[in-house]
C-alpha cells in the first residue's frame, strides 16, 4: 500500500510548515528510509540533475521527512525558485520524492572590474561551482554568494586577495536589470581607450567626453554608460541601428603573470552593422490625433535613412503633443520590425491616450504672500480649462531660469522649486504643488 504525503514550502521568512495527515506521520519525521527516486516537475531552464544537486539529496542515502523538507528549503533559499512544493511516497523499502517548482526570473550577470580575465574565463569559473549557470542569475538567493565565491577563487589563483560584492542595477545598455559583480576597492585606472572602428575616434562628440574615462578607476559600468550615451548616438544618427559596442577588453603585452600597471589600456570592439532605412509605421489606439497627423509628425519618408536618435525623439514629441492637449498620462509604445533582407525598419505603435485632464488647484509653499500673489497672476492655465502640460513646463523653466518674468522686481530668494503634478482620474482634474526652497 502506497502512502502519499504532500508538503508546501511557502516563504523564506518563516519556518516551513508541515501538514501531516495523521498522528503517525508526526512521529515519523525523524524515521529514515533510503531515497529511491527524486523527480522534479515545473523546470524550464534547469535540468532535474541540477535541481537534485541543489537539494543535497543523493540516491540511496537514508533520508527522513525532515531531510526532504530541508532540501525544499534549500531550493527556495537558492533564489532559483519562487515556489516549491513536494510530495513523497513509500516505495518498497524506500521513498520516492517529487519536487514541484516554479523557477524565479533571472537577469544577466555583469562583471564590472575584472580586467585580468575575459568574459569566458569568468563564466567558466562560475560554471564550475554552479553547473546550471548560463550567464543569468536570480536577483536574490544563496547562488549569488556561491558565484561570488567562485570569482574570489579565480582571483586568488592570480594572487589577488580581494573582496567581491554583488548588487542589482539597471542595465547600462538596455531595459531591465543586471546582477553586477564588483571588486571592492580596486585601484586600476583607465590609461587610454581605443576603438576598433577608426571613425569613432574622429567623432568630435566622442572625443569631447573621452576625458570622463581617462585616469578614472576601471569600471565596465562606467565604460558601458559612456558607450551608450556618447558612442551609440554616433551610429544611430547614421542609421546603424544594430551597432554592437563592446564588451570592453584590456589587451596587454608581456608576461601575463606580471602585476598590471596602475593605468591600463582599454580596447572597445565596434561592429557597426548595416544602415537601415525607414519603411513605415502603423498606429492603433489613437483617436485624438489621426494616423495621418501622427505619421506626418515623424518627418520620415519611405527610403530615408532611419536616424535612430530622430526616431526616439519623435516618440517623445508625440507624447508631448498629447500632454499639450491635456492627455497627461498618454502612453506611446513603439514596436520595431527589422527586415534584414531589405535592411528596412517599420513600426507598429500602440497608443493609450488616457483621460483628458483639466486644471484644478495650485498649492504654493515657501514664498511670501506678495510673491504668491504675483505668481498666481502669471499662472498660465485658468481653473477648469484643459491642463496644457507644455505651458506648465514653460512656467517651471521661467521660475528656475528667468524668475523676473514672474515676480518682476519683487525680491524673492530660492535655490530650487520642487514641483508635483497630482492627477485625479475619477474627477479628471490635475492639481499642482510648488515648493520653494
Per-residue pLDDT of 37-80, as tens digits, reads: 999 999 999 999 999 999 999 999 999 999 999 999 999 999 99
How high is the pLDDT of residue 413? 87
CATH architecture of 358-436: Roll (3.10)
Do 105-186 and 277-352 agree at the fold level?
A: yes
How high is the pLDDT of residue 15? 35
Residue range 109-118: mean pLDDT, rounded: 91
> Is 277-352 a domain of CATH 3.10.20.310?
yes
Which set of grid coordinates corresponds to residue 7? Answer: 508538503
How high is the pLDDT of residue 190? 93
**12-16, 184-188, 284-288, 291-295: least confident range:** 12-16
Task: State the Cα–Cα distance between residues 195 and 206, nearest whole angstrom.
Answer: 11
Residue range 118-134: mean pLDDT, rounded: 93
In sequence order, what are the beta bridge partners of 103?
81
CATH architecture of 189-272: Roll (3.10)
Q: Of the spans 118-122, 258-262, 266-270, 342-346, which averages the highest pLDDT?
A: 342-346
Please say if the pLDDT value at position 206 is more than 70.
yes
Domains of the chain, by residue range, sit at: 4-103, 105-186, 189-272, 277-352, 358-436
In sequence order, what are the beta bridge partners of 270?
245
Q: Model confidence at 19, in pLDDT bands (50, 70, 90)?
A: very low
Stronger pLDDT, 156 or 278, i.e. the higher one: 278
Stronger pLDDT, 254 or 174, i.e. the higher one: 174
How high is the pLDDT of residue 397? 95
**27-41, 192-206, 317-331: least confident range:** 27-41
Query: Structure pTM?
Result: 0.74
How high is the pLDDT of residue 254? 58
Residue range 253-268: mean pLDDT, rounded: 73
How high is the pLDDT of residue 255? 57
- CATH top-level class for 4-103? alpha beta
How high is the pLDDT of residue 246? 87
Average pLDDT of every residue of the chain: 89
Judging by DSSP bridges, how do beta strands 189-195 and 263-268 pair with one another? parallel
How high is the pLDDT of residue 24? 43
pLDDT tens digits, residue range 410-432? 988 898 999 999 999 999 999 99
- CATH top-level class for 105-186? alpha beta
Q: Model confidence at 2, in pLDDT bands (50, 70, 90)?
A: very low
Residue from 230, 247, 272 nearest 112 by CA = 247
pLDDT tens digits, residue range 140-158? 999 999 999 999 999 998 8
Amino acid at each position: 500500500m502506497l502512502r502519499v504525503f504532500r508538503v508546501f514550502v511557502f516563504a523564506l521568512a518563516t519556518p516551513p510548515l508541515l501538514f501531516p495527515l495523521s498522528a503517525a506521520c508526526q512521529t515519523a519525521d525523524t524515521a529514515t528510509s533510503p531515497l529511491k527516486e527524486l523527480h522534479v516537475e515545473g523546470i524550464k531552464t534547469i535540468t532535474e540533475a541540477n535541481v537534485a544537486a541543489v537539494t543535497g539529496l543523493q540516491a540511496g542515502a537514508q533520508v527522513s521527512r525532515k531531510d526532504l523538507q530541508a532540501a525544499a528549503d534549500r531550493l527556495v533559499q537558492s533564489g532559483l525558485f519562487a515556489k516549491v512544493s513536494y510530495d513523497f511516497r513509500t516505495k518498497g523499502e524506500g521513498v520516492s520524492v517529487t519536487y514541484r517548482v516554479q523557477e524565479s526570473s533571472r537577469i544577466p550577470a555583469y562583471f564590472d572590474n575584472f580586467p585580468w580575465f575575459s568574459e569566458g574565463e569568468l563564466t567558466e569559473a562560475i560554471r564550475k561551482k554552479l553547473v546550471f549557470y548560463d550567464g543569468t542569475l536570480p536577483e536574490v538567493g544563496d547562488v549569488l554568494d556561491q558565484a561570488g565565491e567562485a570569482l574570489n577563487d579565480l582571483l586568488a589563483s592570480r594572487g589577488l586577495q580581494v573582496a567581491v560584492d554583488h548588487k542589482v542595477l539597471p542595465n547600462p545598455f538596455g531595459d531591465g536589470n543586471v546582477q553586477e559583480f564588483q571588486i571592492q576597492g580596486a585601484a586600476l585606472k583607465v590609461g587610454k581607450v581605443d576603438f576598433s572602428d577608426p571613425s569613432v575616434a574622429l567623432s568630435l562628440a566622442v572625443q569631447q567626453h573621452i576625458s570622463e574615462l581617462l585616469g578614472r578607476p576601471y569600471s565596465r559600468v562606467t565604460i558601458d554608460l559612456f558607450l551608450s550615451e556618447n558612442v551609440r548616438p554616433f551610429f544611430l544618427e547614421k542609421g546603424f541601428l544594430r551597432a554592437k559596442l563592446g564588451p570592453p577588453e584590456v589587451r596587454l603585452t608581456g608576461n601575463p603573470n606580471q602585476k598590471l600597471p596602475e593605468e591600463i589600456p582599454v580596447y572597445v570592439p565596434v561592429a557597426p552593422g548595416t544602415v537601415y532605412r525607414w519603411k513605415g509605421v502603423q498606429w492603433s489606439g489613437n483617436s485624438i490625433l489621426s494616423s495621418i497627423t501622427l505619421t506626418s509628425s515623424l518627418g520620415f519618408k519611405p527610403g530615408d535613412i532611419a536616424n535612430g536618435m530622430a526616431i526616439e525623439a519623435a516618440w517623445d514629441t508625440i507624447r508631448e503633443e498629447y500632454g499639450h492637449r491635456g492627455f497627461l498620462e498618454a502612453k506611446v509604445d513603439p514596436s520595431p520590425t527589422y527586415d534584414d533582407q531589405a535592411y528596412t525598419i517599420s513600426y507598429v505603435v500602440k497608443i493609450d491616450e488616457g483621460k483628458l485632464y483639466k486644471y484644478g488647484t495650485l498649492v504654493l509653499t515657501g514664498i511670501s504672500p506678495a510673491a504668491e500673489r504675483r505668481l498666481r497672476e502669471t499662472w498660465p492655465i485658468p481653473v477648469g480649462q484643459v491642463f496644457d502640460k507644455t505651458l506648465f513646463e514653460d512656467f517651471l523653466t521661467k521660475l528656475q531660469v528667468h524668475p523676473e518674468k514672474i515676480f518682476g522686481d519683487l525680491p524673492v530668494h530660492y535655490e530650487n522649486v520642487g514641483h508635483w503634478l497630482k492627477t485625479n482620474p475619477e474627477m479628471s482634474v490635475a492639481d499642482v504643488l510648488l515648493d520653494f526652497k
